[in-house]
């Protein structure tokens, strides 16, 4: 009899790739909790997976396994999901909780906590009702908040979060630590970007959000003071020499599934990248992608001109990821993965970061002729 796995967030960026990796690495039957929206839950799930298969380097025939082994169950994590236990066959071994809100603005705090914290509480209750062997939770490496130095694969105790998204993920992890009856693994990816070979992505937060803000700012300046940004570099107060940990989505999914299928007794795993650009290198690529000179790095904000203040207000959320040295320990991940961890396929450098950014800008150009300032 094949293994049975339950998944939340299966239509999301990491979730879609996790499903496809599970289909490739196992013969499991997958039961995916999906909101219906404008189509049925199953149509939405299968359409999203088909899009990712087409955009990535998965074998096209994998869609046949999607249709055969991916079963959608209509659900909403903001509602009661415990009752769904009767809709799912008995004998579920693994529960993957990937569903999350990626919003970060304070005005969305109630919704963020409802999805990320209360949604995790409900996922735990459903996992308990299903008597699963293990809960796999996709968190973020940035539960570390403003901590610097070596970040261990261990529970976060004292931490000052940079935004409500991070604090919600800290609280969600604490819910998982606090319970005693369900075995768990917590996966902490860093800043997730597109596929390592095709650059394809379906979620455009993180690095893509910064790039979008940059495009918007350039468009606004073209209307109010044409040519200024081509003549003058924007000033930024960041740490240009610290690494910015960008990790391709296929690495996150492949390694998460491999760790879950290993015999590791550890419970927390960093899904981060070994070869990454510095903040200075990444900013140079991002600015160059939109046709701007690299920013001028200054020691403090008193050196800002009015235009620098305006720009830095626009990208305030991202500043915490551009300052402060973090080295994400991968002892548990590397031990579980063994030989599978040593690969250069997933390296992100200044050279190929240009390809990720170029892919996104091409997609943006297809969907809009001009980026609205308000978005």
Could you tell me the pLDDT band of residue 371, with boundaries at 50, 70 and 90?
very low
Backbone angles phi, psi at 204, to 5 degrees: -120, 45
CA dihedral 230, 233, 234, 236 (to 10 degrees): 160
Give 236-291 as a DSSP string.
E-S-TTSB--EEEHHHHHHHHHHHHTS-----EEEE--SS--BHHHHHHHHHHHTT
Alpha-carbon gap, residue 133 to 97, rounded angstroms:
14
Burial of 231 (0-12, 13-18, 19+ CB in 10 A): exposed
Instruction: Put residue 227 in one of left, alpha, beta given phi > 0 → left and psi -120 to 50 → alpha.
Output: left
pLDDT at position 269 over 70: yes
* Backbone conformation region of residue 206, classed left if phi is above 0, alpha if psi is from -120 to 50, else beta: left
pLDDT tens figures, 335-358: 999 866 657 899 999 999 999 999
**pLDDT of res. 222:** 87
Strand partners, 73: 33
Range with the lowest mean pLDDT among 227-231, 246-250, 304-308? 227-231
212-229 average pLDDT score: 89
State the CATH architecture for 4-194+247-271: 3-Layer(aba) Sandwich (3.40)
Q: What is the mean pLDDT of residues 201-215?
A: 95
CA distance 314 to 216: 10
Query: What is the rounded average pLDDT of the residues 94-99?
Result: 98
Q: Is 317 exposed, middle or buried (0-12, 13-18, 19+ CB in 10 A)?
A: middle
pLDDT at 226: 84
Residues 129-173: tens digit of each pLDDT: 999 999 999 999 999 999 999 999 999 988 999 999 999 999 999
Q: Which pLDDT value is given to residue 225?
A: 84
pTM of the model: 0.95
Q: Which helix (H) or strand (E) holds 143?
A: none
Please name which of 262, 23, 252 lies closest in space to residue 138, comparing C-alpha atoms.
252
Question: Could you report the per-residue pLDDT of 15-54, keeping only the tens digit for each?
Answer: 999 999 999 999 999 999 998 877 899 999 999 999 999 9
Domain boundaries, the chain: 4-194+247-271, 207-244+276-324+345-367
Residue 233 pLDDT grade (very low, low, confident, very high; cuts 50, 70, 90): very high
Per-residue model confidence (pLDDT) at position 374: 44
Distance CA 297, CA 248 (A): 27
């Amino acid at each position: 009899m094949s293994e049975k796995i339950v998944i939340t967030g299966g239509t999301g960026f990491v979730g879609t790739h996790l499903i496809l990796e599970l289909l490739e690495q196992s013969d499991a039957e997958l039961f995916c909790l999906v909101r219906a929206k404008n189509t049925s839950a199953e149509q939405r799930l299968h359409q999203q997976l088909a899009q990712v298969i087409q955009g990535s380097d998965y074998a096209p025939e994998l869609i046949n396994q999607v249709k055969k082994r991916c079963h959608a169950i209509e659900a909403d994590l903001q509602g009661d999901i415990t009752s769904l236990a009767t809709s799912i066959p008995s004998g579920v071994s693994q529960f993957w909780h990937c569903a999350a809100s990626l919003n970060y603005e304070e005005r969305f705090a109630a919704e963020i906590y409802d999805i990320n914290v209360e949604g995790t509480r409900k996922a735990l209750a459903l996992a308990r009702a299903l008597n699963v062997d293990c809960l796999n939770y996709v968190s973020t490496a940035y539960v570390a908040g403003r901590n610097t130095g070596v970040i261990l694969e261990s529970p976060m105790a004292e931490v000052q979060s940079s935004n409500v998204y991070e604090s919600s993920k800290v609280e969600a992890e604490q819910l998982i630590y606090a319970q005693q009856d369900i075995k768990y693994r917590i996966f902490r990816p860093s800043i997730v970007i597109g596929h390592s070979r095709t650059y394809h992505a379906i979620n455009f937060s993180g690095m893509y959000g910064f790039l979008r803000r940059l495009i918007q700012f350039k468009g606004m300046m073209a209307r109010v003071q044409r040519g200024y940004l081509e003549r003058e570099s924007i000033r930024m107060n960041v740490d240009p020499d610290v690494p910015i940990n960008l990790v391709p989505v296929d690495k996150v999914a492949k390694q998460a599934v491999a760790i879950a299928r290993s015999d590791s007794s550890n419970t927390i795993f960093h899904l981060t990248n070994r070869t990454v650009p510095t903040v200075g290198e990444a900013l140079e690529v991002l600015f160059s992608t939109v046709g701007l000179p690299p920013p001028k790095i200054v020691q403090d904000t008193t050196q800002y001109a009015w235009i620098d203040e305006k720009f830095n207000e626009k990208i305030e959320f991202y500043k915490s990821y551009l300052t402060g040295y973090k080295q994400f320990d991968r002892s548990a991940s590397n031990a579980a993965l063994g030989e599978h961890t040593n690969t250069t396929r997933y390296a992100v450098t200044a050279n190929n970061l240009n390809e990720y950014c170029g892919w996104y800008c091409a997609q943006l150009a297809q969907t809009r002729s001009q980026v609205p300032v308000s978005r």
